[in-house]
Chain A
């Protein structure tokens, strides 16, 4: 199984709502990532988890709260978002962070959650 599964595929939420994005992989990967991608732009890194611990936070506003309950799951909790947060949110995983042997550096992406904040 070489899939990263993200749910939901689409989400519309108001600025006062609380919602969560979910990501799951069963490849035994120990690194998981959240990226944000605006239309016609490249993905921008938000968070990196390595062995279920947050290793990188790219100065993301606190209205985005990541969680890694176990090595297969990654959540992104959303609260009090702004319309400018509307974007495609991509989850990715890799075998390891920091081992440069070609295998560990390749990212596997999910199909993303298209988020609209009204």
Chain B
């Protein structure tokens, strides 16, 4: 079953612009992760934020988490054509079984 819902579903921007993706989820979580998937390939882990954290940075990535609103956002700054991919949030359900549940995903296209 799906837990996270990314918004928007698709985003097209120009190189150098920032891209923001939002994820909403339904149940309490231990952590929330973001993954990237290039077309037809496996997923690559980007960043993990714990339920007691509000913000985390990794290079050009900034993730925020608002547990009161059950939402997270992923900001990619100074986007590059190589950032073109699908992005998924994934949640580890608190008190549930040891598995990640992925959101629907968002397709980001960065035009050169």
Find residues 61-112 in chain B having any chain A CB closer than 8 Å to their own CB. Answer: 88, 92, 97-105
Alpha-carbon distance between A90 and B105 when the two chains are bound, in angstroms: 16
Q: For the complex, would chain B's binding face be called helix, strand, loop or mixed by DSSP majority?
A: strand
The answer on a CB contact under 8 Å between A106 and B33 is yes
How many chain-B residues does the 8 Å CB contact rule pick out? 24
Give the shortest distance, in Å, between B42 (CB) and chain A (any CB). Answer: 4
Chain B residues whose CB sits within 8 angstroms of the CB of A45 once the complex forms: 99-101
User: On chain A, which size bracket covers the interface?
Assistant: 20 to 34
Q: With A55-B98, A114-B40 known to touch, is A100 a contact of B104 (CB < 8 Å)?
A: no
Q: Does B31 belong to the interface (CB within 8 Å)? A: yes
Give the shortest distance, in Å, between A72 (CB) and chain B (any CB). Answer: 17
Alpha-carbon distance between A110 and B42 when the two chains are bound, in angstroms: 5
Give the shortest distance, in Å, between A54 (CB) and chain B (any CB). Answer: 13
Q: Does A74 belong to the interface (CB within 8 Å)? A: no
Q: Does B14 belong to the interface (CB within 8 Å)? A: no
Q: Does B48 belong to the interface (CB within 8 Å)? A: yes
B residues contacting A by CB (< 8 A) are 2, 30-31, 33, 35, 40-45, 48, 50, 88, 92, 97-105
Q: Can you offer 9 A-B residue contacts whose CB atoms are under 8 A?
A: A6-B42, A43-B43, A48-B98, A88-B40, A100-B92, A105-B33, A107-B43, A109-B44, A112-B40
A residues contacting B by CB (< 8 A) are 4, 6, 40-45, 48, 50, 55-56, 88, 90, 92, 97-98, 100, 102, 105-112, 114
